[in-house]
Amino acid sequence: MKKLALHWQILIGIAAGIIFGLFAAKMGWAIFVKDWIKPFGTIFINLLKMIAVPLIVTSLVKGVADLKDINKLGKMGGRTFGIFILTTAIAICIGLVIVNIVQPGNFIQEETRSEMMEKFAGNAADKIKAAESAKNSGPLQPLVDIVPDNLFKAATENTNMLQVIFFVVLFGIGLILIPAAQAKPVVDFFGGANEVIMKLIDIIMLFAPIGVFALLSSLIVELPSPDLLLALLGYAGCVVLGLALLIFGIYPFLVKTFAKRGYSFFMKGIAPAQLLAFSTSSSAATLPVSMERAMEHLGVDEEVASFVLPIGATVNMDGTALYQGVAAVFIAQAFGMQLDLGAQLGIILTATLASIGSAAVPGAGMVMLVIVLAQAGIPEAGLALIFAVDRPLDMCRTVANVTSDLTVTTIIAKNLDKLGEPKVKNLW
Ligand code: ASP
């Protein structure tokens, strides 16, 4: 019998998880789901996170060393950051246009507003506190944060991915600079280790349908009441519409135009990574699968994929930026504030920076939203208004984040003549 393609398996896991979650919520099985089902989801995410650092290290060392030329690295780095910033700015503009046309903040009844402000005040305060250190740091702090004072400490915290990348790129440059005969055994070692890690990702992905089933069903039983979700439909609709335009329109269009790869080739190639982004709400947890899909299913050379994707997962968050723009304007509208053009241009700038600063983990975009609100003079307590729908939106924006990373990777690869035929043909 023909084996079902991976994205179908994951999709079935997602659907079954949602149905079971709804049923369990109705039957009052929340504790059972938390004790007996959720742990499998956590195990799955842990497996993905466990493999992320070894994957980045082995593939990036090999990738940089294979470039054989430091200028090439500079060229790739410059283009990568340029396109990252550009796609992020486009994303926020789309979000702002939609939210200004629809004006979802005006749908919120006074009564609903007070109810939510009361109900989620505590959660909002937690996020505001979490943003405190980012708010108080100097302008060059993000740069300082890239350089680790202790490599092993950086490698043990999944949130310090950029520090690991910094060291590994330096190590790769060192390999280029020493005589080839001495570099060879080191490069060969990392090359072999990388093959092992890629194999492990295949094995971990066998567990994906069960993992996403557990993640989704436990999420559903923990979701706030449907009435609150309904009140926020206008706002959530704006975010989802913007993200859908990006995911199904802008990105495939960019890939078609600049990388000469068709819609279905691209979408089929990356579908499992998108579904995983949706189920885990974390670009970092999705990274191993994004890398595998780029290399084996899109035909991107390892040198490009191993450089662009880990950096993209950490700094390129178009979906998050779009959401931050929409959320800021929505909260302002709900409080009866009118934001003029200058204020909205300010939001484009701060949301770009805030999305770069957001960690690639669930809920991080909301923490950095505090900074966007503060800059625009919008009450931070307004976070309470959007709390109820944040998780589902986080799932959707993570899909946009991951799709954007894969788009930029494909374009850069084409641009540097590193886009070949995929090793694996995509099933549908
Ligand atoms: N969860 C998102 C990600 O990992 C970040 C966010 O909260 O927007 O890409």
Q: What is the pLDDT of residues 246-270, one digit of tens each?
A: 999 999 999 999 999 999 999 999 9
Dist. CA 61–CA 307, nearest whole Å: 9
* The token pair that represents 247 in the structure block: 């995911």
Query: How far is ligand 1, taken at its centre, from the CA of residue 246, in Å?
Result: 16
- For every one of its 428 residues, what pLDDT tens digit does the chain have, with 9 covering 90 and above? 567 888 899 999 999 999 999 999 999 999 999 999 999 999 999 999 899 889 989 988 988 888 778 888 888 999 999 999 999 999 999 999 999 999 998 877 777 778 778 778 888 888 888 777 777 777 788 788 889 988 888 887 766 778 888 999 999 999 999 999 999 999 999 999 999 998 999 999 999 999 999 999 998 888 776 666 677 889 999 999 999 999 999 999 999 999 999 999 999 999 999 999 999 999 999 999 999 999 999 999 998 999 999 999 989 999 999 999 999 999 999 888 888 899 999 999 999 998 988 888 898 999 999 989 998 999 988 898 898 889 999 999 999 999 999 999 999 999 999 999 887 776 55
Query: How far is ligand 1, taken at its centre, from the CA of residue 335, in Å?
Result: 26
Look-up of token digits 């790769």: 172
Dist. CA 358–CA 354, nearest whole Å: 6
- Record the pTM: 0.90
Question: Of 92, 144, 130, 145, which Cα lies nearest the Cα of 371?
Answer: 130
* The token pair that represents 202 in the structure block: 């295949």
Q: Which residue's alpha carbon is nearest to atom 1 within ligand 1?
A: 362
Query: How far is ligand 1, taken at its centre, from the CA of residue 61, in Å?
Result: 26
Q: Do 386 and 126 touch, CB atoms closer than 8 A?
A: no
Dist. CA 356–CA 382, nearest whole Å: 22
Q: Which ligand 1 atom is the nearest neighbour of the CA of 286?
A: 4
The residue ranges of every structural domain in the chain are 6-415
- Mutate-to-test residue for ligand 1 from 282, 366, 404, highest number of ligand atoms within 8 A of CB: 282
Q: Which ligand 1 atom is the nearest neighbour of the CA of 313?
A: 9
Residue 391 burial by CB count (10 A; 0-12/13-18/19+): exposed, middle or buried?
middle
Backbone φ/ψ region at 178: left (φ over 0), alpha (ψ -120 to 50), beta: beta
Query: How far is ligand 1, taken at its centre, from the CA of residue 271, in Å?
Result: 18
Task: Report phi then psi at 103, rounded to 5.
Answer: 50, 55
Residues near ligand 1 (Cβ within 6 A) = 281-283, 317, 320, 358, 360-365, 394, 397-398, 401
Query: How far is ligand 1, taken at its centre, from the CA of residue 3, in Å?
Result: 32
Dist. CA 220–CA 137, nearest whole Å: 37
Query: How far is ligand 1, taken at its centre, from the CA of residue 67, in Å?
Result: 31
* Alpha helices (runs of H) in 178-301, residue ranges in sequence order: 180-206, 208-222, 226-231, 233-244, 251-254, 263-280, 283-292
Domain 6-415 in this protein, CATH class: mainly alpha
Dist. CA 407–CA 416, nearest whole Å: 14
Q: Report how far apart, in Å, the C-alpha atoms of 312 and of each of 11, 84, 173, 285 are.
A: 25, 8, 20, 13
Query: How far is ligand 1, taken at its centre, from the CA of residue 358, in Å?
Result: 7
Q: Do 251 and 316 touch, CB atoms closer than 8 A?
A: no
What DSSP letter does each residue of 37-78 carry, written as one string?
IHHHHHHHHHHHHHHHHHHHHHHHHHHHHHH--HHHHHHHHH
Q: Which ligand 1 atom is the nearest neighbour of the CA of 317?
A: 9
- Mutate-to-test residue for ligand 1 from 239, 283, 367, 369, highest number of ligand atoms within 8 A of CB: 283
